[in-house]
Structure 1
Amino acid sequence: MDRRVLFASLVLFAGGVTGVSVALFAFVGVDDGATDAEVVWESDPVAGDDGSGAVVSTMDGDPLVLQSITENDTRSVRATAVGGGVEWTAPVDAGTGGGASEAPEDADSTATSGLVTGTLDGDRVVAFTTESGSLVVRDAADGSERFAVDIGGQSGIRPAMGDVDDDGDIEVVAVSTSGVVRAVDGGGEPVFERDVGAPIERRPLALDFGGNGSDGENGSDAESARSGVAVVTADGDERTVRLLDAGGDTQWTTTPSVTPLNWRQADSQNGPVLALGGTNGNLETIEVSDGSTRYEFGLQDLPVAVGDAGPGRVYVGGSGSIWAVSLLDGEVSWKQQYGGDTRVNAPSLGAIDGGDERAPVAINREGDLLVLNRNGGVTARGSVDAVVYASPLFADATGDGSDEILVVTEAGRLVAVDTN
């Protein structure tokens, strides 16, 4: 393909929504002057991990990739040093947290959710839930168990971490498929537990924007809410989004127009929002303050996945395309196409050039990688020659002080890619 940059003024309408979004944006063609990305390290594949649940945890500058795997017919969590070997492997205890006694007989007591990593009381940790209903938190440094608690129902849904009660400390939030929401502190002690009365299918969001309380003009908690727990419940074909406060009380509920494939929290100049990627190809944003819809915008007629949010924008992947969408009004700043219709995983933002500015990075299901700049131009491209279901991760694999792109393939293989 000849090097080109194509700009087209397009007017897009999201039909049948509250308010009509109109956008003037640039379509940016793939630029053949981009750098070819180079694979600088890869691990052996591992059973039991399709990549979508893996995370990176960095301690004292040393990054570990944490995966939920199956080794010798035993479900385990494994830590691999980026650029090196396996640091530790910790089996998942079938009796952890007592959840197995609460779950159906056919529940797998060791099947785990995707992982989440964060800091509790100054220590890096990794958290997950089991299908039988336990929330387990381990030290990321050595895999030792920090605590395990019973969620109160079958789970296997990825937990979340954040300062949901605005006390300056991080909490861990887990949900059961039956509708129980449980938040615990850094020692595993209860913060709140609430049954929302409907099944939960998606991971919770631990909202941590700071400033929760009665600081709005009218002094209402709902108007000024910036912390709490957001969950999506399912009642038949209807989906409901609700915000719970620090005590587990419902602040608001709303029925989104889209059926969310995934969702993300993001902040903007006009306050924080929940960004939902719909199965119908629409992006919908919901105000954290009161549950109202800020906008709904049609990107395509196939499902879209919401990725990371940067200053004023959220990045979205779809069938063969990536969008940068304004958080304020839904205007599309740019659209970049891969040149095919393979589904693109949710884009990530990473500082891969050693600077402070983070660049959008996307990979599709065929393992084709694109690195873009803020204007949507392609600065690097490459391929890991594998099926990939996961969003890109970032870690310093070469010890040069800057991050490389880390891809976890469908076979659980770790691949570090350098774009410099």
Structure 2
Amino acid sequence: MDRRVLFAALILFAGGATGVGVALFAFVGVDDATTETTVVWESEPAAGDDGTGAVVATVDGDPLLLRPAVENGSRVVNATVVGTDETAWTVPVSGPDAERGGGNGSDDAPVGVSGLTVGTLAGDPVVALTTAPGELVVVDATDGTERFAVDLGGDGGVRPATGDLTGDGSQEVAAVAGDGTVRVVDGDGDPVAEASLPGEVDRRPLVVEPDAEADERGGLAVLTTAGDPATVHMLDASGATRWTTEPSVNPLSWNAADSRDGPVLALGGANGDIETVEASDGSDRYEVKLQDRPIAVGDADPGRVYVGGSGSVWAVDLLDGEVVWKQQYGASTRINEPRMGDVDGDGELAPVTVNRGGEVLAMTQGSDVIARGDAGEVVAYGGPLFADVTGDGGDEVIVVADDGTAIAVDT
């Protein structure tokens, strides 16, 4: 019997025993003939972040790698032209941070910041962050000019979100403070919505954009520690609460996704379960066990969501929770949240994963492996980033190590 058929049979049997949907799915072992990746670019380190805060922004058709960093004892956001050693711009992020600076607790410790978020405001590419003292800061990705700064009314440090919350065709920026304060502002920094929620917040908010043609309402999803084990709050465009629900899983990660039956929130539990909640009313769609260890919910296409765990990555159907396929690599090394990029230049986004050891696996949506390899002997805590470094029309995979070094691998 072919080893893949045997593995699929074994996993199906195990799935039935553990509550995983038992529709036929593919278990795929990485083929020895798979194309190996090649490192094509490596940046200088950027101290001050563990690699999870970096993003890629496209400015005038060219990709910039944006990283929160510390230079000469001060917090900055640094923009590097991908594929080169050129620094496009560096902008300081100032402010006292005696409590969360992580240094010696002095007033001159570098300000703590969240991970970065990219978006588009009034047609301009921007990057947003929150500071630990409690500001939402938005700068122009073109040259680093500060666009605006907004007081959150409480301690910050949680990654903000961008999206068209109001459905008017323009994006807004949503940010939360650790005490449950919510601020949504428009492209000029003017208030759109405000709210104060019970409990603490340590997960990024999620913008669910409305779809007028499908008669689907949008909203801002915020996860707080109120409830057992947590509470999801769905706010409308004015900041009023549409619904709340307490999920069954203790969510370590989450994302918004479109299914064939409307948008959902997908939550990755500390117990290895994935749970989906209807964005329309907060009702529970399903809960499925993938393994007995924490999982990381990543990107989704309109029909499925991709999930990383210990040594495994899954494609899970968003409609019914069936496991479409499961892929294993890197033994039991933890896999960071999968993300989607066009790594072969065919115009189709497909899942790519990076594990904590810097090993890269690029696949098609059907689980066929495009390439595998690694970024060298690094530690990586974040999912992959994407940019066309070589100019071949396809994205290279960028792995950001825990010292801020970016390594681009060609698939």
Query: What TM-score range do you get, normalising by the shorter chain?
Result: over 0.9
Structure 1 residues 60 and 401: alpha-carbon distance in aligned structure 2, compared to 1, 3 A threshold = farther
- For the 8 Å contact 2:73–2:110, the answer to whether it is kept is no
**Is 1:403–2:391 an aligned residue pair?**
no
Local SS of the residue matching 2:259: coil
Question: Structure 2: which amino acid aligns with 1:29?
Answer: G
- For the 8 Å contact 1:14–1:21, the answer to whether it is kept is no
**RMSD between aligned alpha carbons?**
2.3
Match of 1:325 among 310, 316, 341: 316
Structure 1 residues 276 and 108: alpha-carbon distance in aligned structure 2, compared to 1, 3 A threshold = farther
How far apart in 1 are the matches of 2:227 and 2:185? 30
Structure 1 residues 174 and 4: alpha-carbon distance in aligned structure 2, compared to 1, 3 A threshold = same
Which residue of 1 is the match for residue 371 of structure 2?
380
Deviations along 1:190-242, one digit per CA (max 9) or x if unpaired, are: 00111012211211011114329xx85xxxxxxx42x1100011037530001
Which residue of 1 is the match for residue 25 of structure 2?
25
Match of 1:299 among 284, 290, 294: 290
Question: Structure 2: which amino acid aligns with 1:116?
Answer: T
Deviations along 1:354-383, one digit per CA (max 9) or x if unpaired, are: 111112111100111111122223221111
Which residue of 2 is the match for residue 345 of structure 1?
336
- Give the superposition deviation at 1:5: 3.6
How far apart in 1 are the matches of 2:205 and 2:18? 29
- Give the superposition deviation at 1:401: 2.5
How many residue pairs get matched? 398
Which residue of 2 is the match for residue 92 of structure 1?
93
How far apart in 2 are the matches of 1:349 and 1:305? 14
- For the 8 Å contact 1:254–1:291, the answer to whether it is kept is yes
Question: Structure 2: which amino acid aligns with 1:8?
Answer: A
Question: Structure 2: which amino acid aligns with 1:406?
Answer: I
- For the 8 Å contact 1:37–1:417, the answer to whether it is kept is yes
How far apart in 1 are the matches of 2:187 and 2:294? 36
How far apart in 1 are the matches of 2:173 and 2:16? 39
Which residue of 2 is the match for residue 54 of structure 1?
54
Using the TM superposition, name which of 5-14 and 271-280 deviates more: 5-14
Which residue of 2 is the match for residue 128 of structure 1?
129
- Aligned runs of 1:114-263 on 2, under 5 Å? 114-211=115-212, 224-225=216-217, 227-235=218-226, 237-263=228-254
Local SS of the residue matching 1:8: helix
- Aligned runs of 1:32-51 on 2, under 5 Å? 32-51=32-51
- For the 8 Å contact 1:209–1:272, the answer to whether it is kept is no
- For the 8 Å contact 2:228–2:246, the answer to whether it is kept is no
Using the TM superposition, name which of 228-237 and 346-355 deviates more: 228-237
Which residue of 2 is the match for residue 220 of structure 1?
none
**Is 1:276–2:267 an aligned residue pair?**
yes
TM-score of the two chains, using structure 1 as the length reference: 0.90
Structure 2 gap ranges (5+): none
Deviations along 1:270-294, one digit per CA (max 9) or x if unpaired, are: 0000000101000001000110111
- Give the superposition deviation at 1:109: 7.4
Question: Structure 2: which amino acid aligns with 1:56?
Answer: V
- For the 8 Å contact 1:172–1:183, the answer to whether it is kept is yes
- For the 8 Å contact 1:109–1:130, the answer to whether it is kept is no
Local SS of the residue matching 2:238: coil
How far apart in 1 are the matches of 2:128 and 2:114? 9
Q: Which runs of 4+ in 1 moved over 6 A?
A: 104-109
Structure 1 residues 236 and 288: alpha-carbon distance in aligned structure 2, compared to 1, 3 A threshold = closer
Structure 1 residues 302 and 147: alpha-carbon distance in aligned structure 2, compared to 1, 3 A threshold = same
Which residue of 2 is the match for residue 416 of structure 1?
408
Question: Structure 2: which amino acid aligns with 1:396?
Answer: D
Deviations along 1:395-415, one digit per CA (max 9) or x if unpaired, are: 011122321111111110011
Local SS of the residue matching 1:340: coil
Identity %: 57
How far apart in 2 are the matches of 1:107 and 1:27? 53
TM-score of the two chains, using structure 2 as the length reference: 0.92
How far apart in 1 are the matches of 2:3 and 2:337? 25
How far apart in 2 are the matches of 1:165 and 1:27? 42
Local SS of the residue matching 2:225: strand
Local SS of the residue matching 2:187: coil
Which residue of 2 is the match for residue 221 of structure 1?
none
Deviations along 1:65-118, one digit per CA (max 9) or x if unpaired, are: 10000111111000000011211111102179xxx9xxx998977211000001
How far apart in 1 are the matches of 2:364 and 2:207? 29
Using the TM superposition, name which of 180-189 and 198-207 deviates more: 198-207
Which residue of 1 is the match for residue 65 of structure 2?
65
Deviations along 1:296-316, one digit per CA (max 9) or x if unpaired, are: 000000000011102411100
How far apart in 2 are the matches of 1:339 and 1:196? 41
Match of 1:265 among 232, 241, 256: 256
How far apart in 1 are the matches of 2:17 and 2:264? 19
